[in-house]
Amino acid sequence: MAGEDRSPGTAPRAAAPDETPDLYGAYPRLTPKQIRFLSGHGTRRPVAAGEVLIREGDRGGDFYVILGGSVAITEYYGTSDERLLRLHRQGRFLGELGLLQGQVAFYTAHAREAGEVLVIPVDRLRVLVARDPVLGNLVLRAYLGRRTMLVGAGAGFRILGSRYSSDTRRLREFAARNWLPHRWIDLETDAEAEALLRRFSVAPEETPIVIWREEQVLRNPGNAELARLIGLSTPAADGDHDLLIVGSGPAGIAAAVYGSSDGLATTLVDAFATGGQAGTSSLIENYLGFPSGISGSELAERGVLQARKFGARVRIPAEATSLEPDGGHYRVTFADGTEALGRTVVLATGAHYRRLDVPGIARPEGTSVFYAATVYEARQCGADPVAVVGGGNSAGQASLFLAERVPRVHLLIRGASLGAGMSRYLVDQIERHPRVNVALDTEVREVRGDDTLRSVVVEHIRTKERRALDACSLFVFIGAEPCTDWLSDALALDDEGFVLTGAEAEARAAPGVWESQSRGCLRLETSLPGVFAAGDVRSGSVKRVASAAGEGAMAVHHVHDHLGHTTAGLPGPGDDLPAPSGRSAAPGGDPHASATDAHPLHMTGGEGR
C-alpha cells in the first residue's frame, strides 16, 4: 500500500531554501513508503544537468518522481522570455492535470542539477492511483492545485484581441470554462500588443489571434481548432457506442462515470465545456461530502477524471444538432458534420440563463454583462461596484464571490423576500456581508453605457420610483431555458421546452412507438425508447447539483433495463415523431419574469440552484 508511513524517521523533508514551498498541497513530498510502492511499477534512471524531462507543447509523457538532484519548471524554455515557475527536489513528483487528461504540457521540466528519477508510464499511474485512494487523492489534489496556479500565473498560450470583439470574448470564455492556462493581451490597453503584432506580422483587424510557444499563431481560430491544439478532446470514436451522453454537466458526468464503470462503451460530448451551469459556480457549499465547499469547475474536473479512469471518451467541443433513430440505434449529428451511433442516449444538455431584455443591454453584453460569475469574469470588474440580478442560489453565490473582490455588490431581487428562492445558509451570509446591498421588489429597467457598462437604472415595483446605480458590470441569473432547440422535432417537450419523461412522455409518443416494447416507459425515459433525459433539461427535475448527479446515475440503471429488453420496433427515420410543444410566454410580460423564476428549484448554477 502507498499510504502514509508514520514510523519514526519517515517525516517528509522540509523544503530547501531555493525550493518552491508546498502551497495548498500542490507540491507534496512523497513518503519513503510511497516511493517504495511506486518503485515496484517504474524504472529508476539517472538524469544529467540540463536534460529535458517534459517539454512544453508535447502531449502525453510519463510520471516522474525526483529521487535526487533538482528539477526546474519553466515557461518559454530556451528563449529570451524564459521564466522560472517552480523548483523541486527529492521526493516530489512532476506533472499537472493535463498529464492525466492527455493534454499538451504548458511548461518545460528540466534537470537543473544532475540526479536520479523514477519513471512510471502515465497509463500505469492511472491504475495505481485508482487502486490506492491515499496516493490517488494526493496526486489529484496536487494536480488540481497546479492547474489552478498555472491559470493564475498566465502560463500557456496567449490570446491577443480587443475587449470589444465577440470572438475575443468567445476564445477567452472557452479557455476559462475549460480551465486552460492562458493569458489575455488586450489590443487596446496592453503595451505588449503592438510588439507582438509586429513580430508575427498580424494586422489589428486580423485579431483575435492565439500564440502558442512563440512559434505558432492561429488567426481567429474556432473553438474546435483551439481544442485540437491543446489536446483538450479525444478524436471522434468510430463504430457504435453502448451509451452516448450529450451534455457534461453534473448529470452527464455522473452518467459517464457509472456507465463506463459498468463496462459500457461510453462517450461524453459537450458543445462548450464540462460542468454545465454548475461549472460556473464559484463555490458550492451544500454539496454532500464537501463541508468546506467546492467550486463547480473543480467538481467537474474530478468527475471527468473519474469517468476517463473507467474508460469513458470525452469530446469537447461537439455541438449536437440532430437526433434520429437508425436501425435499432440512434444517430446524433454534430455541427462539424461528424456523426455518432449509440445503442442508448442520455440527454443531459441542461439549461442556460435567460437573457435580460432591457434597453441598452446589447452593446455591453459580452464585455460587462455576464451570465456567470467565475474568476474569469471577476478579473474584468476592477475596483468598481457591480450589480447582480436574481433571487436564487446562483445569484446569492455570485454576490458573495464578487463581494470578496469588489467594493460593492448590488443584489437586485424582484421578490419581496431574500429567502423566498434562496437557501438559508446563503441568506445568512448575505445579510451579514458589509459589501452586499440587497434591493428587494426591484427590477432593472435600463442599462447605460456604450461598449462598457456605466450604470443600471432600477425601478421599485410598488412605488415605481426609479434610480441609477453605478456599476461597471452586470451579472444576470434570472431563470433558465432548456438547451433543447435541436430536439424539438425528435422528442416530446413540455410547454417550456424541457424534455418530458416517464408516463407523460409515453402519452405524447408517436403512435406505435411503445406498443412494440415489452415494457412501459421508464421514469427518465423520453418519448423514444432507449433515449433518456437527466438533470436540468428534464421536465419536472429538481434543479440541484446533487439531484442532477443522482439522475445521471439512475439513467444508467435505466440503460441496463433497456438493453436487457428487445429493441425491436424502434421507430425509423421516416416514422412520425411527436410535434414540438409550444413554449409559454413569461407571465406578465416582465423582462425579469419567467416560469422558472416562479419557483426557487428552477434556478440553476449552484447546488441549491
The amino acid that residue 304 corresponds to is V
Query: What does the pLDDT read at residue 544?
Result: 87
For strands 320-326 and 182-186, give the pairing.
unpaired
CA distance 423 to 111: 51
Q: Which of 484, 483, 459 is nearest to 469 (CA)?
A: 459
Nine cell digits for residue 533:
433525459
Contact at 8 Å (CB) between 281 and 543? no
The amino acid that residue 565 corresponds to is H
Nine cell digits for residue 101:
487528461
CA distance 372 to 395: 9
CA distance 394 to 536: 14
Q: How many CA atoms lie within 13 A of 314 on its CB side?
A: 34
Nine cell digits for residue 426:
446563503
Q: Which residue's C-alpha cell is 524517521?
A: 9
Mean pLDDT, the chain, integer? 86
Long-range contacts of residues 289-293, Cβ cutoff 8 Å, at least 24 apart: none
Query: What does the pLDDT read at residue 508?
Result: 93
Contact at 8 Å (CB) between 609 and 599? no
Query: What does the pLDDT read at residue 320?
Result: 96
Query: What does the pLDDT read at residue 386?
Result: 96
Q: Which of 188, 259, 260, 264 is nearest to 451 (CA)?
A: 188
CA distance 479 to 353: 6
Query: What does the pLDDT read at residue 599?
Result: 28
Q: Which residue's C-alpha cell is 459500457?
A: 264
CA distance 404 to 191: 29
Contact at 8 Å (CB) between 310 and 257? yes
**pTM, rounded to two decimals:** 0.82
Query: What does the pLDDT read at residue 11?
Result: 41
Query: What does the pLDDT read at residue 238?
Result: 60
Per-residue pLDDT tens over the stretch 214-234: 778 999 999 999 999 998 876
Question: Burial, 96: exposed, middle or buried (Cβ in 10 Å; 0-12, 13-18, 19+)?
Answer: buried
CB atoms under 10 Å from CB of 322, counted, come to 13
Radius of gyration in angstroms for the set of CA atoms belonging to the chain, rounded to a whole number: 26
Low-confidence ranges of the chain (pLDDT < 50): 1-13, 567-609
For the chain, the maximum distance between any two Cα atoms, rounded to a whole number of angstroms, is 78
Contact at 8 Å (CB) between 191 and 197? no
Per-residue pLDDT tens over the stretch 534-568: 999 999 998 889 999 999 999 999 999 999 875 44
Q: Is 374 left (phi over 0), alpha (psi -120 to 50) or beta?
A: beta
Q: Which residue's C-alpha cell is 467550486?
A: 295
Phi and psi for 21 in degrees, rounded to 5? -65, 155
Q: At what angle do helices 250-261 and 545-563 cross, to 10 degrees?
A: 40
The amino acid that residue 236 corresponds to is A
Query: What does the pLDDT read at residue 235?
Result: 67
Query: What does the pLDDT read at residue 237?
Result: 59
Q: How far is CA 222 from the centre of its chain?
A: 18
Query: What does the pLDDT read at residue 9?
Result: 37
Nine cell digits for residue 323:
437526433
Q: Which of 384, 398, 578, 402 is nearest to 492 (CA)?
A: 578
For strands 216-219 and 442-449, give the pairing.
unpaired
CA distance 162 to 34: 49
DSSP secondary structure of 165-187: -HHHHHHHHHHHHTT--EEEEET
> Facing residues of 115 across strands?
47
Contact at 8 Å (CB) between 47 and 115? yes
> Facing residues of 473 across strands?
386
Residue 434 to residues 403, 406, 604: CA-CA distances in angstroms?
9, 12, 26
Q: Which residue's C-alpha cell is 544537468?
A: 49
CA distance 528 to 571: 8
Contact at 8 Å (CB) between 329 and 255? no
Q: Where are the alpha helices (DSSP H) in 232-275?
A: 250-261
Q: Where are the alpha helices (DSSP H) in 178-212?
A: 192-199
